Amino acid sequence: MIRLWLAIPVAAVLAVSVGCGGSEDPPPSPGPAVDAEIRASGDEDTKIGAGMKQYIVRNCPPPGTTPAIPKKYRGTSYYPGLKQTFVATVALCESIATIEVEDSQMTVRTGLKNDARGRAAAERFCELVQAADVADFTPGHELQDFEGETIKVCPARTS
């Protein structure tokens, strides 16, 4: 009987300590933008996150798509930039885990690395933030790798 009395407080302490730690849930696995989880601190932030997700998804090419640009245009001066934009968009679209919004500031956690591919996708992310008109005048939108390390902080739109 005495052992039972000792076991109950020990079990309670263990149960409470297991629940302690970070209040933040780990992000889901990175994947298609359409599956990105939105985490927000209120209704307005939820609206911003949903609007950004919708805008990114609208700009994502279908999986497995390659640009169908006729050969006669491939030698033009704008083709390399167009191709780079397409490749960066695909990289971003395939790797979003969460879109977190707090005080109108977005933090997007991805499966990207801070390498040339990830930085190109981060540039594309910042372009999409500017074009989405959901929180483009808010400074500090950030694209992160899966561990939460910053790949790029986007400049605020000024006009």
pLDDT attached to residue 93: 94
Task: Return phi, psi of residue 150, to 5°.
Answer: -70, 130
How far, in whole angstroms, is CA 113 from its chain's centroid?
12
Per-residue pLDDT tens over the stretch 34-63: 999 999 989 999 999 999 999 999 999 887
Tokens 């919004």, residue? Answer: 101
pLDDT attached to residue 7: 43
Domain ranges of the chain: 28-153
Question: By three-state DSSP, how is residue 60 classified?
Answer: coil
CB 151 within 8 A of CB 145: yes
pLDDT attached to residue 36: 95
Per-residue pLDDT tens over the stretch 16-27: 333 333 346 777
Residue 99 DSSP code = E
pLDDT band for position 114 (cuts 50, 70, 90): very high
pTM over 0.85: no
